[in-house]
Chain A
């Protein structure tokens, strides 16, 4: 009985972690679907969004070290702080601006190029953004506090203790993340199914030429998609930043999104969610059951091995489009 309850707790925690993975994977799927570009910079976009958010909240002057060096005066902060809600809004605006710039400066010039070229461009973008974030906001580890409750949720513990005689340990941050992710996905689905822009987005994802012929501007749709991906990156950046602080290793969460995508399929939004959940639960359960037999630390590699297995037996992922080669 105890063993079962422990497992249930592990599964729950796995689901919560999975939601966090799914949040990052979502951004990849959005851009890949609409433009066929695998955006290597998605992880760095999360980092950049989180950095910008913290910077705005603390009233930090952008490029402060650079400006100080040039003017000779010490410039640090504006001397005021910005409320979290307003700061999130401002950061969203920055991410939209970034999407527009990426389109104007990079993607526009690479129309009709092979996917590998666009992929290389996003690698360049990733390193550029990382550097830009560094120069703009400084390289120190920052604390992100937008008022999301943290720590063990006592109500869940009390409730499960009363029912099962064993209190579950669930982080309140994880609960908030799950709720936010659910809302975000619902909004995305509503947008892509019911709005004109959403329909245009699906059309562009399917066939560029046909989309042009019915009067859809590719450039507008790309800016739109990158903006949405930027917003998703902001949400993921907030959650991860609140959990483990805003630092440059934040951009590495993109690596955890890769196995999620291989499981769920690169073109499916539900796939990103389900893939994230499977990997979250899978790695926690594996650690719980098998980890102790092999000396632990299975969480670092389990996701990638699972992705490898999928690559061999189902390369399109669970929900991806079947690749049918006509001969």
Chain B
């Protein structure tokens, strides 16, 4: 590891709709990930800037989810470097990555089914609690103040995502669309620097998709949260994101604004299919 190496100089600009995009928050450099002989990701580099919504798209099996798993520490790439907030990140366990301020949701929803919506969202703040075990068990000293403060934050998120009515419901009983929303709430509760969404709209109907799109935009707008998301629905991706990475067979075939990507010949070929020679 070369300590003299630094992240690219921070620069910023303001989007047409008035959101501030800052310097580079996360940078992936020449990432290669293999499972045995299968190359899931091949030599991919891209960056995510502070405050932007960055999408990763591509056909099935392109390696999008693998990329998200690399960012969140669930997979460790064989080659390449991951830079976060100007520092190179060594190989880390997923829980350590979470403590750095990277929160995520899952394609197949990973919630604590036996716990209430409120308890689920509170787990998002576990790493921020400081009171000792004894204080908490006896509801004494810092524990009470802390719990109240965290509850307040969580209630804000609950209001924000409009799930007040199901606060006490065990998550296992909720319908799919609401579960997705609770998962987003739990990720937000961690006040992440970077929020990773793995197909936040998969399996939703049009109405639920519209709701979710609105929430994603509002989160980005109100909290200034940087978001990286994977999505299949091209319309949604083009509407939501500032910049798009396009992957196909583990390679990067396009990177740019939605307009740029849409007119990229390689991307069109990948999506519509073209005879390979």
Query: Assuming the A-B contacts A194-B136, A199-B122, are A213 and B72 also in contact, with contact meaning beta carbons closer than 8 angstroms in the complex?
Result: yes
A207 and B123 within 8 A (CB): no
Bound Cα distance from A215 to B187, whole angstroms = 11
Do B139 and A217 touch across chains, with their CB atoms under 8 A apart?
no
Given the known interface contacts A191-B137, A194-B136, A194-B137, the answer about A215 and B127 at a Cβ–Cβ threshold of 8 Å is yes
Question: Could you mark each residue 96-109 of chain B with 1 if its beta carbon is under 8 Å from any beta carbon of chain A, else 0?
Answer: 10110001101000
Kindly state whether residue B224 has any CB partner on chain A within 8 Å. no
Judge whether B115 and A216 touch: CB under 8 Å: no
Instruction: Flag if B98 contacts A213 (CB, 8 Å).
Output: yes
Query: Which residues of A are found within 8 Å of B98, using beta-carbon distances?
Result: 212-215
Residue from the list A196, A209, A214 in contact with B129, Cβ < 8 A = A196
Q: How far is the CA of A249 from the CA of B113 in the complex (A)?
A: 40
Q: Within 8 Å of chain B (Cβ to Cβ): is A158?
A: no
**B95 near A: Cβ within 8 Å?**
yes
Chain B residues, Cβ within 8 Å of A154:
none
Closest to B112 in A: A206
Contact A197/B133 with A202-B115, A206-B115, A212-B98 known, Cβ cut-off 8 Å: yes
Q: Mark A198-220, 1 if CB is under 8 A from B, else 0.
A: 11101101110111111111100
Partner of B112, one of A190, A198, A202, A321: A202
**Chain B residues in 8 Å Cβ range of A212:** 74, 93-95, 98
Contacts of A207 in B (CB 8 A): 110-113
Interface residues of B in 54-93 (CB under 8 A from A): 72, 74, 93
CA distance A196 to B208 in the complex (A): 33
Query: A214 vs B184: C-alpha distance in the bound complex, in angstroms?
Result: 12
Interface check A292, CB cutoff 8 A: no
Contact A217–B93 (Cβ < 8 Å):
yes
Contact residues in B for A209 (Cβ distance below 8 Å) = 74, 106, 110
Question: Does the CB pair A199–B93 fall under 8 Å?
Answer: no
A190-248 interface with B by 8 A CB criterion: 190-191, 194-200, 202-203, 205-207, 209-218
Distance from A265 Cβ to chain B, minimum over Cβ atoms (Å): 13
Chain A residues with Cβ under 8 A from B133's Cβ? 191, 195-197
18 further contact pairs, Cβ within 8 A, besides A215-B98, A321-B114: A194-B136, A194-B137, A195-B137, A196-B136, A199-B119, A199-B122, A199-B123, A202-B115, A205-B114, A206-B115, A207-B113, A210-B112, A212-B94, A212-B98, A213-B72, A213-B94, A214-B123, A216-B126
A-B contact pairs, 7 of them (CB 8 A): A191-B137, A196-B136, A199-B123, A202-B112, A202-B115, A205-B114, A206-B115
Q: Interface of B with A (CB < 8 Å)?
A: 72, 74, 93-96, 98-99, 103-104, 106, 110-115, 119, 122-124, 126-127, 129, 131, 133, 136-139, 143, 186-187, 190
